[in-house]
């Protein structure tokens, strides 16, 4: 039988493990078997630096830490090799439930921490499934069939049954093979539906290209994400009137400490020149470029919608939350710099809405759906409300370049002397801000 560190936490086997190992009294007691598994994991870094977890609670914290530290430049995978050791799966399942419960009880199902946990689960399962790719395709396929059939019937799954899975954004309905509304997942169903149409080609190769192992893996990951969300919601609901266990509170607090540590490391690793710009900084509206000022007074004619949604929204968001975005190689999410969305709700959105209301006619009066487009440009999908749980469904748009503005919204661009040699209104803002700061310091 194939050995893997993946186990579906919502399978009956997993629930049995939790019953066996999840006794609250043992969660912070040293477990020699756990230590033994970790220290015998091939390639595992040992020693003081690796901070091997010796209790279930510490393992839960490490599981979360792995995901956050992975984003740091000096991340060392060898410290967490045990998370991919098949022998750890029983402890891993218990630590997963501990995390779900601690975060649901202390921070709530809509919190940034819960969202991070769901993302980390997705990442962990992806990496674990990646490791089974060394196996022959039919072995992988059977393994995935068994894992999936603990959650759905892969021979009889209507697309309408996975609407919520599709909303997570990992699978696209347009890319699924459907027959009478049924999603074609298994090879025998693929042959049953399309076998007659395949000539001079390897049917298995065709099946793999149109779905196969890739589809099964993505479906499995999405289903686990969805079940995790639901489980956390249930825990939150059930424990509202109950005093939380102090061990879970401590775990939740330690998770916040890890988050703070990661934030600090990320922002301080960019060098002093960037330090201020890679974190939220208060607005200095005096430093806004002419195009932004004009837009904020409201657009009276032409390109009103694009000016507010495509141009102003990204500028207002990045200038407050992450003005140094052009120094970063990868996209970023708002919650990475504004975890509770407090600044976004209290400062960013009001400024955008104010500009929208100053337009003639006011933007939302005749086109209220533009609020959804604004949320989408901030990375929160096509939803009327801006919620953490939807983050990542779309990308956080970066501010438009001067060239594009001149091409598509030429009336906005009335350059002044500071516009020389800059390519983007955000660059203008960062430079001007520093100039003004310097002037202020000199006048002190």
Binding site residues, ligand SF4, CB under 6 A: 289-291, 402, 405, 413-415, 419, 425, 428
The C-alpha atoms of residue 426 and residue 430 are separated, in whole angstroms, by 6
Q: How many helices (H) and strands (E) does the chain have?
A: 21, 2
Judge residue 402's burial from the number of C-beta atoms within 10 Å of its C-beta, 0-12 exposed, 13-18 middle, 19 or more buried.
Answer: buried
Given the complex with ligand SF4, which of 327 and 415 has the nearer CB atom?
A: 415
- CA torsion, ordered 21, 22, 27, 31, to nearest 10 deg: 10
* Tokens read off for 262: 């990661």
SS3 276: helix
Write down the least CB distance from residue 426 to ligand SF4, Å.
Answer: 9
Q: Which residues contact 24 (CB under 8 A, 6 or more apart)?
A: 245, 247
Output the CA–CA distances (angstroms, integers) from residue 39 to 65, 69, 78, 438, in the order listed.
19, 21, 12, 54
Instruction: Pick left, alpha or beta for residue 421 (phi over 0 → left; psi -120 to 50 → alpha; otherwise beta).
Output: left
For the chain, the residue count is 444
The rounded distance, in Å, linking the Cα atoms of 270 and 308 is 31
In the complex with ligand SF4, which residue's Cβ is closer, 98 or 400?
400
**Cβ contacts of 432 within 8 Å, gap of 6 or more:** 286, 287, 289, 418
How many Å apart are CA 242 and CA 235, to the nearest integer?
11
**From CA 417, how far away is CA 242, in angstroms rounded?**
63
Nearer to ligand SF4 by Cβ, of 150 and 401: the residue is 401
Smallest distance from ligand SF4 to CB 379, Å = 23
Task: Look at strands 178-179 and 182-183 and give their pairing.
Answer: antiparallel
Q: Which residue has the tokens 């396929």?
A: 141
For the bound state, the minimum distance from the C-beta of residue 269 to ligand SF4, rounded and expressed in Å, comes to 30
Least distance from ligand SF4 to the Cβ atom of residue 430, Å = 11
Residue 221 or residue 295: which is nearer to ligand SF4 going by CB? 295
Q: Which of 397, 428 has the CB closer to ligand SF4? A: 428
Smallest separation, CB 399 to ligand SF4 (Å): 10
Minimum CB–partner distance for residue 441 and ligand SF4 (Å): 25
State the DSSP string of 5-56: S---TTSHHHHHHHHHH--GGGTTS--HHHHHHHHTSTT---SGGG----SH
Min CB(184)–ligand SF4 separation in Å: 50
Distance CA 306, CA 282 (A): 25
SS3 of residue 182 by DSSP? strand
Nearest distance, CB of residue 197 and ligand SF4, angstroms? 54
CB of 429 to ligand SF4, least distance (A): 8
Least CB distance to ligand SF4 at residue 403 (A): 8
**Least distance to ligand SF4, CB of residue 360, Å:** 21
| 3-state secondary structure (DSSP) of residue 396 | strand
Helix or strand (DSSP H, E) at 178: strand 178-179
| 12 vs 416 by CB, closer to ligand SF4 | 416
Residue 195: asked if its preceding bond is cis (omega within 30°), the reply is: no
């Amino acid at each position: 039988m194939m050995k893997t560190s993946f186990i579906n936490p919502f399978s009956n086997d997993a629930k049995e493990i939790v019953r066996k190992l999840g006794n609250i009294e043992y969660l912070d007691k040293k477990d020699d078997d756990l230590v033994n598994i970790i220290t015998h994991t091939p390639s595992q870094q040992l020693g003081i630096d690796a901070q091997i977890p010796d209790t279930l609670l510490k393992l839960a914290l490490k599981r979360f830490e792995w995901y956050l530290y992975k984003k740091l430049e000096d991340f060392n995978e060898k410290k967490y090799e045990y998370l991919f050791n098949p022998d750890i799966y029983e402890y891993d399942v218990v630590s997963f439930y501990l995390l779900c419960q601690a975060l649901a009880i202390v921070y709530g199902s809509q919190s940034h921490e819960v969202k991070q946990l769901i993302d980390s689960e997705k990442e962990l399962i992806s990496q674990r499934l990646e490791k089974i790719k060394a196996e022959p395709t039919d072995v992988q396929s059977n393994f995935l069939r068994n894992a999936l059939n603990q959650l759905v019937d892969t021979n009889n799954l209507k697309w309408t049954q996975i609407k919520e899975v599709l909303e997570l954004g990992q699978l696209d309905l347009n890319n699924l093979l459907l027959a009478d509304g049924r999603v074609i997942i298994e090879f025998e169903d693929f042959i049953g539906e399309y076998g007659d149409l395949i000539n001079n080609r390897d049917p298995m190769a065709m099946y793999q290209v149109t779905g196969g192992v890739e589809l099964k893996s993505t479906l499995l990951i999405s289903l686990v994400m969805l079940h995790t969300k639901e489980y956390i919601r249930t825990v939150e609901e059930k424990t509202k009137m109950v005093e939380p266990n102090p061990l879970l509170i401590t775990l939740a607090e330690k998770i916040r400490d890890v988050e703070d540590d990661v934030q600090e490391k990320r922002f301080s690793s960019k060098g002093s020149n960037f330090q201020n710009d890679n974190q939220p900084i208060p607005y200095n509206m005096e430093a806004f470029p002419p195009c932004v000022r004009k837009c904020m007074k409201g657009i009276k004619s032409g390109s009103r919608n694009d000016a507010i949604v495509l141009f102003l929204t990204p500028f207002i968001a990045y200038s407050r939350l992450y003005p140094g975005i052009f120094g970063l190689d990868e996209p970023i999410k708002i919650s990475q710099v504004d975890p509770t969305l407090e600044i976004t709700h209290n400062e960013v959105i009001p400024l955008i809405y104010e500009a929208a209301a100053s337009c003639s006619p006011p933007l939302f009066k005749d086109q209220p759906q533009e609020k959804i487009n604004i949320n989408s440009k901030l990375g929160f999908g096509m939803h009327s409300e801006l919620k953490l749980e939807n983050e990542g469904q779309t990308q956080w748009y970066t501010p438009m370049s001067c060239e594009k503005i001149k091409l598509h919204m030429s009336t906005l661009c009335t350059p002044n002397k500071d516009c020389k040699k800059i390519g983007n209104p955000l660059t203008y803002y960062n430079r001007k801000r520093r100039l003004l700061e310097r002037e202020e310091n000199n006048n002190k």
